[in-house]
Amino acid sequence: MTILTTTTAWCQVTVIGTVIASDDKSALPGINVSEKGTENWTTTKADGTFSIEVTDPNATLAFSFIGFQTQEFQLKGRTEIKVILKLDCIKDFFDAYHIILYANSGLVHNPLGGQIEITSPYTTIGVIKGSYSYQTNLYDNVFQSGQIELSHPISTCEFDMDFRWSYRNFSFNKDFQSITNSGEAQLNLRNIKLIAGYSHLGMTLISENKTEASSGILLGLGKDIFFRPFYGTLSAKVAIYNRNVEYQAEFKSGYRWFQYFIRYYKLDTFDELSLGVGAQLSYYKRRKKG
């Protein structure tokens, strides 16, 4: 018995180390440090340091804590180590299961209008979104826009992507009509959004009985903005054609069920500043009882 105890004590090795976060390199206190295959464990101190006695100089240490990815570290005889933990990549997308109804007004040319937005449940390919907006002055002017979007089909801890098709159509003062179709990809990096795409414009000059068509690149930038208790998104896009430039800008925000947006659009001599207020309704997929 004495020989076994002495052998066990002789094999024990003290390992010291520091655990830090991968994003800001800050020290991580309270991290669980355990020797794999044993009940031997400890936790890191306030400065992220730890000390543990292991039974094997080639033992594997496991580092774990809620909100971080569990990491294993094989000592291979080392007695002083530094471990970097990554944040656990668990994303919650809160843009599913929604229907939003807006009353909106074009403050320049189209005083009456409405908008509807519908989002699907989260699926294996992301969230599918659809929207349609209609504005008019009840006479010559009509401004319509629609959009179908696939959100988050590509998602990692560092970024996610959205893909959308959008449609814009207006008639203005019996002067000209336009139809625009755009395909866009949006890269979301934290709270910054980079937008790039391709757009096709068809314009009819009614007074001249002339139709023009051209295509061009579409570029944009967006940013998430937080101001308690509201959360909002500001975005701006520009599409460059042969003889025209199309401008779009929007600020969209809300709190709980209340939603609103401010939107600006300009193409040729037509421009519109729109204000919309609405209500968000949520629905949930019910599971059938077996």
φ/ψ (deg, to 5) at 199: -135, 145
Which pLDDT value is given to residue 51?
95
Model pLDDT for residues 77-113, shown as the tens digit of each residue: 999 999 999 877 666 667 888 999 999 999 999 999 9
Which pLDDT value is given to residue 218?
98
Which pLDDT value is given to residue 23?
77
φ/ψ (deg, to 5) at 9: -65, -35
Which pLDDT value is given to residue 262?
97
Q: How much is the mean pLDDT over the chain?
A: 88
Structural contact between residues 269 and 246, judged by C-beta atoms closer than 8 angstroms: no
Tokens of 189: 């990096």
- Low-confidence stretches of the chain (pLDDT < 50) are 1-10, 286-290
Q: What is the DSSP letter of 8?
A: H
CA 252 – CA 276 distance, rounded (Å): 9
Which pLDDT value is given to residue 95?
80
Which pLDDT value is given to residue 5?
40
